[in-house]
Structure 1
Amino acid sequence: MDTEPINVESLTQEGANLAAGFITFQLDDGVEVTITERLDFNPFPPGGGLMLGRWGANSIELSYPGSPINVAQKAIYKKDFTDPYLPWAFVMDGLKYFATKGVVNFKLQNGVDAVKGSYEFETEDDHKVKGTFDLKTG
């Protein structure tokens, strides 16, 4: 299935929701970074949502598909995603790396205003990224 990516820059310029909580990011089993500031979380009921975390000039961009509330879910990237979706990626040292495959485990809470879970993915450059998240709309 062909899917259409969401343009992250246009969303953030249009005033994406600021979020409370955290996203962790670990690249190739290196040091884990916990991002607690410069977070965006945008749920799109019932069609999933996106999560963005920035630290310095670096960032992580994730999404999840539509899901029932208060039910633990596992989604395979990109197989379980429908149009439009946010491509998973990270920016490090000025270079953007896109996910080729991955998985997100998540649970929507408080309606769709909170999400908690974990993710892992690989890029075409064979980078391995993993982390956790616990976000609610700010």
Structure 2
Amino acid sequence: MNKKIVITAALLGALAVITGAFGAHGLKAKLEPQQLQVWGTAVQYHFYHVLALLFLATFGRVTTGLTYASYWLFTLGILFFSGSLYLLSCSSILGWSWLRVLGPITPIGGLLFIGGWVTLALAAWKQK
């Protein structure tokens, strides 16, 4: 099991729980239903990819090649996809309308997720 991947997954998992609880309890009265749905999507994909990271950690101590690429693609995907959605959903209550420029970053995060899954499949295929 790869310690670095497990630690990253554990910290990102804790963050996913915090953001989920914050959305359900702290933002419910402040956000419009559509914004709250965007927040929920961010939390959902955040959790999915934390689980992907934990699965990736079972590939052993490999820290190079496809496993390492998948690790970074999933981690950056969480940052770009979920992070941009968290900020976009809160832009109105923060009064930061300029955060809407983050909209194009969300699909980049989605592409990073797809790349992470493809490299995970390739890593599994090459695993002995």
**TM-score computed with the length of structure 1 as normaliser:** 0.22
User: Normalized per residue, which structure has more strand?
Assistant: 1
User: Normalized per residue, which structure has more helix?
Assistant: 2
Q: Larger C-alpha radius of gyration, 1 or 2?
A: 2
**TM-score computed with the length of structure 2 as normaliser:** 0.24
